[in-house]
């Protein structure tokens, strides 16, 4: 005989499957180019994650789990933001229930990122291109130099590489001679220039 807990689990699992049915697979999300990211984003900012929390919500397909991430806004590069901002993503963990959505970026308190965001409507992921619109901010040990990397921490040496496949592994000598990762300040300058190139909104 199935107990009340088992019935609740089965019902919740069924609702999660319904909610996920309309979610595109991460493999089908084409990585936007740098210009595409800037154009599609309503806001672009450098932020530090200060809080992450998940909760149940009601949707047109039933109940689902969403995760709300709170960021301290360090610098705004496009659009207007206050000292803090929140983004809501489909998926997360509430108690013993877990809902995973392929391609949704996951944040931890203390993470620092450059984020390209379009949160109009109720998107599955407000980050443009799912994980592709998230760039990690890294600090080199010893030098303190701050640089940016792709969402998976793979090196980024130029904005021209955004939207292109990650470079294939090269021999050690070639890697040693490769350009240094793109500095955070350089990345911010590239974004600012791209925003200025955009036609004025009428």
Candidates 41, 4, 28, 27; CA nearest to 134 is: 41
pLDDT digits 0-9 by tens, 141-160:
999 999 999 999 999 999 99
Instruction: Write out the E strands in the chain.
Output: 43-59, 62-78, 84-90, 92-94, 97-99, 112-117, 134-139, 146-149
Domain ranges of the chain: 30-50+68-81+102-197
- Determine the Cα–Cα distance for residues 31 and 165; give it in Å rounded to an integer: 9
pLDDT digits 0-9 by tens, 14-34:
444 444 444 444 445 789 999
- H helix runs in the chain, sequence order: 4-21, 34-40, 172-177, 184-197
- Determine the Cα–Cα distance for residues 199 and 202; give it in Å rounded to an integer: 9
Candidates 134, 110, 104, 107; CA nearest to 48 is: 110
**In angstroms, what is the C-alpha Rg of the chain?**
19
Per DSSP, 95 falls in state T
- Determine the Cα–Cα distance for residues 186 and 184; give it in Å rounded to an integer: 5
- Determine the Cα–Cα distance for residues 199 and 62; give it in Å rounded to an integer: 41
Residue 178 is predicted with a pLDDT of: 60
pLDDT in tens, the chain (202 residues): 434 334 334 444 444 444 444 444 444 578 999 999 999 999 999 999 999 999 999 988 889 999 999 999 999 999 999 999 999 999 999 999 999 999 999 999 999 999 999 999 888 999 999 999 999 999 999 999 999 999 999 999 999 999 975 555 445 444 444 688 999 999 999 999 999 999 876 6
């Amino acid at each position: 005989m199935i107990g009340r807990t088992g019935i609740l689990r089965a019902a919740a699992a069924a609702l999660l499957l319904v909610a996920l049915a309309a979610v595109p697979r991460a493999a089908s999300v084409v990585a936007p180019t740098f210009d595409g990211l800037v154009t599609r984003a309503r806001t672009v900012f450098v932020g530090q994650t200060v809080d992450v929390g998940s909760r149940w919500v009601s949707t047109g397909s039933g109940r689902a789990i969403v995760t709300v991430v709170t960021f301290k806004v360090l610098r705004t590069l496009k659009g207007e933001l206050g000292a803090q901002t929140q983004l809501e993503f489909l998926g997360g963990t509430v108690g013993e229930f877990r809902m995973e959505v392929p391609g949704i970026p996951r944040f931890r308190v203390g993470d620092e990122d450059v984020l390209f965001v379009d949160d109009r409507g109720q998107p599955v992921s407000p980050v443009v291109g799912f994980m592709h619109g998230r760039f990690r901010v890294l600090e080199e040990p010893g030098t303190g130099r701050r640089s940016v990397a792709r969402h998976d921490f793979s090196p980024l040496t130029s904005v021209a590489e955004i939207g292109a496949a990650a470079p294939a592994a090269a021999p050690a000598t070639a890697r040693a001679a490769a350009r240094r990762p793109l500095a955070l300040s350089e990345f911010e300058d590239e974004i600012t220039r791209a925003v200025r190139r955009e036609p004025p909104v009428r």
